[in-house]
Amino acid sequence: MPRLLTIGVSQSHTLSSIQETLVALRHTTQLAAEKGISILLFPEAYLGGYPRTCSFGAAVGSRSDAGREQFLHYFNSAVDLGDTPSGAGDDWIERRLPVSKESGRRGDGTREFLEHVARETGVFVVTGLVEKAGGSLYCAAVYVDPQRGVLGKRRKVMPTGSERLIWAQGQPSTLKAVSTTIKGVRVVLGCAICWENYMPLLRYSLYSQNVNLWLAPTADGRDTWESLMRTVACEGRCFVLSANQCVKTQHLPNWITGENTKQEVKTISAELPQELLVDGSTPHPTGPGRRHSMTTRTEENHEITWRRKDQAGVNGSAVQDTPKLGPTAIPEEEEYVSRGGSCIVNPMGKTISGPAWEKEDDLLYMDVDFDDCERGRLDFDASGHYARPDAFKLTVEGLDLDPPP
């Protein structure tokens, strides 16, 4: 009998505050539940934000005061899950750490909110986030089961490039896979964040745990990313979910763009976030091609839309445009700093949904048969019969590579 589940990815982008982003996550998860999605992945750093284009005023040998102010904004936008800087592992997962005498819990309530969303929707939620612990930030992802709550948390072991300025290195022990049973289907989930997927030994550590659902929240918006996801799926004989944000310049926070509009820095309150009114703007879905119209809003929130000058009218006649923008002009705020590229790949390395380019708030999902993972291992098992364990061995500090029970 086939082991069928519907799995999906949300190509969502971070909103202007953590409260608004959490509310958006809840709405998206509710929509996913309506579509029958059982497991849903959100992008890297979805909660807290990926600070694209920001240098934090750093150069070799110097840091500026303005850059430190930017880091303050970024630090305040991160979430506090109540973990320790060194990572408390099972003690954090099982809530064995001391709690605050004031609030009766650890952290800022984000963990409890995510567990509530998973429980009320019945959707297994995995989301990327920026976690603060002590005075450091970590790029992380959490697994949230509808029945048991948080099952585990990944911290990125190697931030890439300039990410190393703002994110600390995570613990290799967090590479531990988690298992759950959904609608009678046993799923073993492992997560590699962004360019961790380029690390062969890290990949092998997850293959060794018999992962059949590979989660790859990312910030890589290049068209080369899909080929890596297809390699991982085929190499691991597993389904792959990869989620990236689709971001325009106008989505970047004011502390990055330097706009005059003052941004209020908000933090999670002691209570769970309540429904918030967003600015009322509606994202305009676009395909992979260039937009044929552009929209802006006045200070009174009136929407103004005009066509680009290079658009031809009926029978090739010219269209009179106001204002005149030139043949290829696109307002800077409408330019993409990340085009998305979220996708779903099957165990034979075939992309079965996506990649989704220049589609804001897109939801990709597919019905899949997890028996396909075993079918693929007839001729290849990266950590089993094809691995020559008598000749090659891998050890990871603090991590048991045996499959979870």
Q: Which residues participate in catalysis according to the annotation?
A: 44, 156, 194
Calculate the CA 346 to chain-centre distance: 20
Distance CA 249, CA 339 (A): 11
Which of 359, 346, 87 has the alpha carbon at shortest distance from 241? 346
Q: Computed from CA positions of residues 278, 281, 282, 288, in that sequence, does the dihedral angle turn out positive or negative?
A: negative
Extract the tokens encoding 343: 């996708």
Neighbour count for residue 386 (Cβ, 10 Å): 10
Neighbour count for residue 142 (Cβ, 10 Å): 24
H helix intervals, 109-199: 110-121, 163-166
* φ, ψ of residue 318 in degrees (nearest 5): -75, 150
CB-based contact 171:387 (threshold 8 Å): no
| Type of residue at 318 | A
Which of 384, 365, 387 has the alpha carbon at shortest distance from 28? 365
